[in-house]
Amino acid sequence: MAASLGLPLNFKVGVDNAIFSVDPAQNRLLVLLVMRESEPFLGQWSLPGTLVRHGESLEDAAYRILSEKIQVQNLYLEQLYTFAGPGRDPRELSDSQPLRYLSVSYFALVRFEEAQLMGTGVRGIAWYPLDEVPHLAFDHNRMVEYGHRRLRNKLEYSPIAFDVLPELFTLSELYQLYATVLGENFSDYSNFRAKILKLGFLSDTKMKVSRGAGRPAALYRFDAEAFAPLKDKPLVFI
């Protein structure tokens, strides 16, 4: 190490995605894992990742792996955190010249019902409930933690829920999403309802939909124009 201090240090740069989704049927918060098919950590679960290619931005790379693993029409994606400590990838040691592996993690939220996992049974890819995530390759467990924290914050302070709901949705679908992500100590349905309607960016389409038994629910639509003035304001949906 001491001998290499003067040498120019190069990096390999990868992108890893922490992709979250909510299964509305089971009310569970899920994260997408893939089985590693090469060394290091062959056969271990990990986040879907890739090395950044020529002419490609970090975000491009993030979208590329995402679309290689699942097909979705709607999603929210943003940069999460960058990990680059020495020793985070075992390949550093085996390389002849000084090299480090840096990974920029991205956070994504996708719609569960429309997400099509790519690859047949042979290729390991699966949704894992957040409280059953196994030990992952590299520092990917930390990425999942960071992502989970970001998800909760984003949901409270910004309208990412509407990037991931169908264009028309009922207020209980919206409530289920919030309650699943934010946990049990969340506002009750009737207060949530009153609060979010008062904010004024949900427009009633006057259409109704019946989900099994019970009174049919009104379908709402997110009104981006009405939301615009609230942007960057300390909105709290909780």
CA distance 175 to 24: 11
**Residue 234 touches DNA, criterion: CB under 7 A:** no
By CB under 8 A, name the one of 26, 57, 71, 94 that touches its own copies.
57
Other C-beta atoms closer than 10 Å to the C-beta of 93 total 8
By CB under 7 A, name the one of 54, 135, 206, 215 that touches DNA.
215
The one segment of 47-55, 68-76, 122-130, 170-178 that binds its own copies by CB under 8 A:
47-55
By CB under 8 A, name the one of 37, 40, 71, 84 that touches its own copies.
84
The answer to whether the beta carbons of residues 89 and 69 sit under 8 Å apart is no
12 binds, among its own copies, DNA, none (CB under 5 to 8 A by kind): its own copies
CA distance 210 to 213: 7
**Residue 212 touches DNA, criterion: CB under 7 A:** yes
**212 dihedral zone (left: phi>0; alpha: psi -120 to 50; beta):** left
**Residue 93 touches its own copies, criterion: CB under 8 A:** no
The one segment of 63-71, 108-116, 146-154, 206-214 that binds DNA by CB under 7 A:
206-214
- Cβ proximity to DNA, 75 vs 171, nearer residue: 171
Return the ∠ at Cα 14 (arms to 12 and 16), rounded to 5°. 160
**Residue 51 touches its own copies, criterion: CB under 8 A:** yes
From residue 71, alpha-carbon distances to 43, 61, 91, 106, 123 in Å are 24, 15, 31, 17, 16
Task: Kindly state the tokens that stand for 130.
Answer: 């957040």
Please give the radius of gyration of the chain, using alpha carbons only, rounded to the nearest integer: 21
Site of tokens 């994606």: 77
- Cβ proximity to its own copies, 43 vs 90, nearer residue: 90
| Smallest gap from residue 18 Cβ to its own copies (A) | 15
Contact code string over 162-201 relative to its own copies, x by CB under 8 A: ----------------------------------------
CA distance 223 to 197: 12
The one segment of 19-27, 94-102, 128-136, 196-204 that binds its own copies by CB under 8 A:
94-102
Torsion of CA 136, 142, 113, 152, to 10 degrees: 160
Site for its own copies in 1-20 (CB under 8 A): 1, 4-5, 7-13
Q: Which residues bind its own copies (CB under 8 A)?
A: 1, 4-5, 7-13, 51-58, 79, 81-82, 84-86, 98, 100, 102, 104, 156, 234, 236, 238
